[in-house]
Amino acid sequence: MHIVVLTLLLLLQIHFVLLISRQGKVRLTKWYSPYSQKERTKVIRELSGLILSLGPKLCNFLLWRGVKVVYKRYASLYFCMCINQDDNELEVLEIVHHFVEILDRYFGSVCELDLIFNFHKVFYLDLLLSRALQGVKSWQAYYILDEILIAGELQESSKKTVARLIAAQDSLVETAKEQASSLSNMIAQATK
Amino acid sequence: MALSGMRGLSVFISDIRNCQNKEQERLRVDKELGNIRTRFKNEKGLTPYEKKKYVWKMLYIYMLGYDVDFGHMEAVSLISAPKYPEKQVGYIVTSSLLNENHDFLRLAINTVRNDIVGRNETFQCLALTLVGNIGGRDFAESLAPDVQKLLISSSCRPLVRKKAALCLLRLFRKNPDVVNVDGWSDRMAQLLDERDLGVLTSSMSLFVALVSNNHESYWSCLPKCVKTLERLARNQDIPQEYTYYGIPSPWLQVKTMRALQYFPTIEDPNTRRSLFEVLQRVLMGTDVVKNVNKNNASHAVLFEALALVMHLDAEKEMMSQCVALLGKFIAVREPNIRYLGLENMTRMLMVTDVQDIIKRHQAQIITSLKDPDISIRRRALDLLYGMCDVSNAKDIVEELLQYLATADFAMREELSLKAAILAEKFAPDLSWYVDVILQLIDKAGDFVSDDIWFRVVQFVTNNEDLQPYAALKAREYLDKPAIHETMVKVSAYLLGEYSHLLARRPGCSPKEIFSIIHEKLPTVSTSTIPILLSTYAKILMHSQPPEPELQNQIWAIFSKYESCIDAEIQQRAVEYFALSRKGAALMDILAEMPKFPERQSSLIKKAEDTEADTAEQSAIKFRAQQQSSNALVVTDQSPANGTPPVSQLSLVKIPSMSSEVRSLSAGLFASCKDHNTSEQGVTQANGTLSVVDPQPSSSSPGLLGDLLAIEGPPGVAVQSEHNLVSGSEGASDAEDALALAPVGEQANTVQPIGDIAERFNALCLKDSGVLYEDPYVQIGIKAEWRVHHGRLVLFLGNKNTAPLVSVQALILPPTHLRLELSLVPDTIPPRAQVQCPLEVVNLRPSRDVAVLDFSYRFGTNVVNVKLRLPAVLNKFLQPIPVSAEEFFPQWRSLSGPPLKLQEVVRGVRPMSLMEMASLFNSFRLMVCPGLDPNANNLVASTTFYSESTRAMLCLVRVETDPADRSQLRMTVASGDPTLTFELKEFIKEQLVSIPTALQPPAPVPTPQAQPTTSPAAVSSDPGAMLAGLL
């Protein structure tokens, strides 16, 4: 009927972040634009189908439904970020890498950054990541992402700073846990 | 106990991982969901810690793709937990599960606000992150002042301030009014002096959003941006941790350059010089290196610098430097760089005058059509399409044709369309155009839409010089052993019309033509057979007196199809058979098809019907914006001769278009003679239903229209882009596009406020109201109607504190309306409203609708909307009461078709007779009760006004069946056949689909209501429950 054309006014930079495994399993999603549940499911289904079908050695950008998807595969994990057509793709591609490096540092602290393209290392990274993202620690990936992006914009470009903040959060949780267990011990003692 | 809970999650996760198939997984998940549900429901006293466990499990289940709506409330309530670990999970899960439109979220505002204003830094961070990620308008209004305070507070640490900056950015995007411009410009300037690069990066993002909305208030920040760039470019005072592969924060560099692009120019010579030094350094100092990340990061900066250079309109020398650089890029090994090289060249096309330099790279770009990466091939196609003009059209189109044979299926349709458009637009001569289209059909028939071959037929019909050539070409293609069905159609049509022009050539006698076409008949589908039958009839007509043998053959075919099951074929066969027995009289009946009157291109229609917004904009968009500078093909019209011809597609672009139209070159029509002289008479003759304008010039405005039609609609490209993605989805595509509309809208449109169609429908019934509204502009309408005249006033209101520029209003009038729009100013000042009167004269009855093509620019972005104008048929009706004495004689005197038409209408929306009567009255058809003795019938009368019909009485009778409300019989009568037909169709449209504005209190249940209410199913009042939980 009527066509309202274009424009980027006041829009988010990154609409969503999506991590999917090569088997098409969702490992992490984060939506900065208001997608309804139905739309989210649809986006995931379509996009994972599309990205998994792509061959290697292609460029890392896709035009898709009027937006641009920047994606990159790290071993068996695909990292995707959806941006506007006018946004700077390479910049976002390196946000992806920035995120990966921080995840890597967090989950597999043995990793040397400049070795990241070494096959074994990548394999290791992937193993750690996919294990981490499937496992009980996977929310950490969310916290890490929240320290890197807010409102779809880059918040912090220093890996050191992000690592420091995440460590601080972890210790807060630890402390609370200790307190709780000592408390429950006390209660247990008292009710014995 | 604490440990066992987490163990539960671990066990669950490993259970899931061990599931052999989806079914097992589902069973396991269902079991777990049942467990969680009962926990939530029964155990009132769940501790925050236990809640955290289940909420976390829920997020995991949600990630697996299951619905966990029932637990939203629990997740939200966890936000108010007193301890950090639970609160943290509450925040993270809430922001993952919910979006800004969830009602539950609104109820958490107070808790979130308490965390923001509280003294606990970690809580502040959690709250700011949530609001920054999913905060909506409500949050904007209630939290913005607090967030601003945190951002500028000297006592807050960087970790809070950088989050506050981005949080404010989101709130600002949700409601720009929350940032008070006057107060903020100074603070923003201070923020840009920030030494902490984390805070500076976030502040720069905020700044980009602010200047994109209104740069005027932020001039003082401009030098600071340049300073920041200098600092980064020279790597001064940048902590090691903020360099990325040796590059000082590439992201901050990109952001800063982006911000500068929102300023129209940089006036201060010193600042400008410093900036250009930085840019020059970036342009010249970036090399392709081995490390991928370093390469990407440095090129991210480089491409942004290029965009800034383009924006600042640098000297030609620097521009050519840029193009040279891009030329280098499109040949490198790194696919990302190739892709971006092509994309930026396309961008460059529209910004500056460098086409000639870009053309030097044409060969390389053509090579990119064969790139192994389809994304790159598409960019190459886009660029070729964008850079094509009269000088290189032949080369480019021929390359495209060649490429067509090997192109991916996913690209062929787009490719064919683009080739067809370019061929039409830049054809050095018409015969070349015909060649191209026939080759297109030959090479990629499956991908050539009907519109394309219809166009070639229109061209040939309207250009006598072309007819023998086209017929000959068609004849040649028929000799090929296997030809596409579309080719059969187009050649049968052309030969039917024009084969007699070839009569003396070998192989072109009527008999030979007939037999070569008839050979194809067994291979074609039913939709083609009617065309072939027409061709046979035409051949017969042209061979008067007919050869008995040929005549018998053709008659035999006709009589064979007389009993065909397909109604169209049967009817044609019967009619042609009967007609062909009339001998010489056949000549009059089956004479050559008249020239096509201008009418709306089917492509335009297609575009209007496609609700999808832009998908692929790049080249199409550029083309659309570029068009005035291109050699649009149209015959030279001299406006001195009076009003320009009013045709559906003639342009009334205000204020500058008419001169451009005049100056457009007549390239394509070089072969058409006598246009300039025959212009005057066309005005009134065009476009009525029965009269066909005999003058050759009638093709030119139509052509212009069609070109524009092909240009304008992004819908076409949407489709093809989409095809790439979903391949075989086929019929469900449209639906998908709709379902996903919010994605696209978020991505690249200014979302209209309210439903445009609904607003239009409402305005069809009343005379004032809002026609269109988005966050920046509101278009109101006020109308007065008197007989066949109308006066509409468009109220264009700028809702912003910044001016709207490049405002353009273009009226695409249908043939039956004469529309004159007064001058529309190019700029609308902030918060101002301008009135633009639009005079309407109704020339004759028609249901076509005028379209307002409205566009404006805001920041660097262009918004364009096409809006139907409520100058519709019923506006020219005047209800008139009729008594029985007046009615029946009139009714009887209008005895039958074409003045009185009757039709059985099916699929009528169910409504009572009363509702129908009020519907009729609302469209100014006066219902006359008591005239019809049958209570189930309805009689109405009205007067229709137009220049051609003057005042014309119209009578309508509707007979309904009380047993079946979905159908009725309608009879419409008036003294004018066109009016009768149009009015009948008009009423039918209203009956079959009632505009929503009119919908009577829900006789039909609306099924859409269900999903949104599902959370409510949990309890009677979710709000109360949640409030209790909090």
- pLDDT tens-digit map of A119-156: 333 444 445 555 555 555 666 788 889 999 999 999 99
Task: Find the mean pLDDT for residues B25-33.
Answer: 92
Place of tokens 């296997």: B482
Task: Tell me how far CA of residue B637 lies from CA of B371, B427, B650, B809, in angstroms.
Answer: 45, 20, 11, 22
Continuous segment of H or E residues that includes residue B1008 = none
Whether B748 and A90 lie within 8 Å, measured CB to CB: no
Neighbours of B966 (CB within 10 A): 12
The answer to whether the annotation marks B106 as part of a ligand binding site is: no
| Minimal-distance CA residue of chain B relative to A34 | B99
Cα distance from A111 to chain B (closest Cα, Å)? 17
Q: What is the ipTM of this complex?
A: 0.87
pLDDT of residue B463 exceeding 80, the answer is yes
3 state DSSP class of B511: helix
Edge-to-edge strand order for the sheet containing B777-786?
A: B768-773, B777-786, B789-798, B833-842, B817-821
Neighbours of A45 (CB within 10 A): 12
pLDDT (0 to 100) of residue A44 = 93
Task: Tell me how far CA of residue B176 lies from CA of B41, B183, B249, B573, B743, in angstroms.
Answer: 41, 14, 29, 67, 21
CB B195 within 8 A of CB B238: no
- Determine the Cα–Cα distance for residues B999 and B981; give it in Å rounded to an integer: 26
Task: Tell me how far CA of residue A43 lies from CA of A6, B446, B980, in angstroms.
Answer: 20, 29, 49
Q: In A, which residues are within 8 Å of B868 by CB distance?
A: 2
- Pick A57's closest partner by Cβ from B254, B335, B749: B335
- Determine the Cα–Cα distance for residues A127 and B562; give it in Å rounded to an integer: 72
Whether B615 and A66 lie within 8 Å, measured CB to CB: yes
- Pick B84's closest partner by Cβ from A10, A159, A176: A176
- Determine the Cα–Cα distance for residues A74 and A71; give it in Å rounded to an integer: 10
Torsion of CA A78, A14, A96, B379, to 10 degrees: 70
Stronger pLDDT, B719 or B430, i.e. the higher one: B430
Question: Would you state the structure tokens that stand for residue B276, as one six-digit string?
Answer: 């250009």
**Which of residues 146 through 175 in chain A touch B, CB cutoff 8 A?**
146, 150-151, 153-161, 165, 168-169, 172-173
Phi and psi angles of residue B268, each rounded to the nearest 5 degrees, phi first: -60, 120
**Which of residues 383 through 412 in chain B touch A, CB cutoff 8 A?**
none
3 state DSSP class of B904: strand
pLDDT (0 to 100) of residue B7 = 63
- Determine the Cα–Cα distance for residues B424 and B422; give it in Å rounded to an integer: 5
- Pick B613's closest partner by Cβ from A4, A39, A160: A4
- Pick A5's closest partner by Cβ from B742, B746, B864: B864
- Determine the Cα–Cα distance for residues B700 and B637; give it in Å rounded to an integer: 10
A180 touches chain B (CB under 8 A): yes
pLDDT of residue B1019 exceeding 80, the answer is no
Q: Which amino acid is at B771?
A: L
**Which of residues 691 through 730 in chain B touch A, CB cutoff 8 A?**
713-715, 718, 721-722, 725-726
Identify the band that residue B581 occupies on the pLDDT scale cut at 50, 70 and 90: confident
Ramachandran assignment for B698, one of left (phi > 0), alpha (psi -120 to 50 degrees), beta (any other): alpha
Whether A151 and B616 lie within 8 Å, measured CB to CB: no
B134-159 pLDDT tens trace: 998 889 989 999 999 999 998 999 99
- Nearest C-alpha neighbor of B919 from the set B936, B933, B938, B902: B938
3 state DSSP class of B900: strand
Identify the band that residue B688 occupies on the pLDDT scale cut at 50, 70 and 90: very low
pLDDT (0 to 100) of residue B740 = 33
**Which of residues 727 through 766 in chain B touch A, CB cutoff 8 A?**
736-737, 739-740, 742-752, 756-757
Whether B244 and A42 lie within 8 Å, measured CB to CB: no
Neighbours of A56 (CB within 10 A): 5
Task: Find the mean pLDDT for residues B693-712.
Answer: 35
**Which of residues 77 through 136 in chain A touch B, CB cutoff 8 A?**
82, 84-86, 88-91, 93-95, 97-98, 117, 134-136
B119 touches chain A (CB under 8 A): no
pLDDT (0 to 100) of residue B963 = 80
The answer for residues whose C-beta is within 8 angstroms of residue B823's C-beta and 6 or more apart is: B654, B655, B836
CB B521 within 8 A of CB B472: no
CB A6 within 8 A of CB A62: no
- Determine the Cα–Cα distance for residues B184 and B214; give it in Å rounded to an integer: 12
B260-274 as b/e, with b when 16 or more CB fall inside 10 Å?
A: bbbbeebeeeeeeeb
Whether B756 and A143 lie within 8 Å, measured CB to CB: no
| Minimal-distance CA residue of chain B relative to A50 | B725
The answer to whether the annotation marks B54 as part of a ligand binding site is: yes
Whether B613 and A6 lie within 8 Å, measured CB to CB: yes
CB B727 within 8 A of CB B745: no
Whether B92 and A134 lie within 8 Å, measured CB to CB: no
**Which of residues 828 through 867 in chain B touch A, CB cutoff 8 A?**
855, 858-859, 861-867
Task: Find the mean pLDDT for residues A97-120.
Answer: 59
CB B614 within 8 A of CB A6: yes
Cα distance from A68 to chain B (closest Cα, Å)? 9
pLDDT (0 to 100) of residue B102 = 86
Whether B863 and A153 lie within 8 Å, measured CB to CB: no
3 state DSSP class of B461: helix
Classify the C-alpha dihedral B337-B343-B349-B350 as positive or negative: negative
What's the helix, strand, coil split of chain A in %, to 5?
A: 50, 20, 30
pLDDT of residue B822 exceeding 50, the answer is yes
Determine whether B470 is exposed, middle or buried from the number of CB atoms within 10 Å of its CB (0-12, 13-18, 19+): buried
Place of tokens 């090691």: B240
- Determine the Cα–Cα distance for residues B334 and A90; give it in Å rounded to an integer: 12
Torsion of CA B538, B539, B543, B548, to 10 degrees: -120
Whether A91 and B722 lie within 8 Å, measured CB to CB: no
What is the secondary structure of B750-816 as a DSSP string?
PPPSS-HHHHHHHHHHSSEEEEEE-SSEEEEEEEEEETTEEEEEEEEEE-SSS-BEEEEEEEE--TT
| Minimal-distance CA residue of chain B relative to A188 | B1
pLDDT (0 to 100) of residue A131 = 57
B800-820 pLDDT tens trace: 777 788 888 888 888 888 888
pLDDT (0 to 100) of residue A192 = 57
Whether A169 and B88 lie within 8 Å, measured CB to CB: yes
Question: Would you state the structure tokens that stand for residue B54, as one six-digit string?
Answer: 């289940």
Q: In B, which residues are within 8 Å of A70 by CB distance?
A: none
Neighbours of B223 (CB within 10 A): 17
- Nearest C-alpha neighbor of B459 from the set B497, B412, B486: B497
- Determine the Cα–Cα distance for residues B377 and B394; give it in Å rounded to an integer: 20
pLDDT (0 to 100) of residue B708 = 33
pLDDT of residue A178 exceeding 90, the answer is no
- Determine the Cα–Cα distance for residues B953 and B972; give it in Å rounded to an integer: 11
pLDDT of residue B54 exceeding 90, the answer is no
pLDDT (0 to 100) of residue B769 = 85
The answer to whether the annotation marks B57 as part of a ligand binding site is: yes
pLDDT (0 to 100) of residue A108 = 65
Whether B176 and A10 lie within 8 Å, measured CB to CB: yes
**Which of residues 219 through 248 in chain B touch A, CB cutoff 8 A?**
239, 241-242, 244
How would you classify the pairing of strands B851-858 and B805-812?
antiparallel
Query: Which of B336, B753, B758 should one mutate to test binding to chain A, selecting the residue with the greatest count of A CBs within 10 A?
Result: B336
The answer to whether the annotation marks B53 as part of a ligand binding site is: yes
CB B144 within 8 A of CB B110: no
Q: In B, which residues are within 8 Å of A169 by CB distance?
A: 88, 122
B725-760 pLDDT tens trace: 333 433 334 333 333 333 333 334 577 888 888 888
Identify the band that residue B627 occupies on the pLDDT scale cut at 50, 70 and 90: very low
Continuous segment of H or E residues that includes residue A34 = none
Could you write out the three-class secondary structure of B933-984? CCCCEEEEEEEEEECCCEEEEEEEEEEEECCEEEEEEEEEEECCHHHHHHHH
Torsion of CA B353, B357, B359, B365, to 10 degrees: -110
Among the listed ranges A2-6, B356-360, B727-731, which one has the minimum average pLDDT value?
A: A2-6
Cα distance from B845 to chain A (closest Cα, Å)? 23
Whether A94 and B613 lie within 8 Å, measured CB to CB: no
Query: Which of B50, B99, B777 should one mutate to test binding to chain A, selecting the residue with the greatest count of A CBs within 10 A?
Result: B99
Whether A84 and B133 lie within 8 Å, measured CB to CB: no
Question: Would you state the structure tokens that stand for residue B149, as one six-digit string?
Answer: 């305070």
Task: Tell me how far CA of residue B123 lies from CA of B110, B126, B177, B889, in angstroms.
Answer: 14, 5, 27, 84
pLDDT of residue B655 exceeding 50, the answer is no
Number of CB pairs, chain A paired with chain B, less than 8 A apart: 332
pLDDT (0 to 100) of residue B298 = 94
HSE-up of residue B106 (Cα within 13 Å, Cβ side)? 9
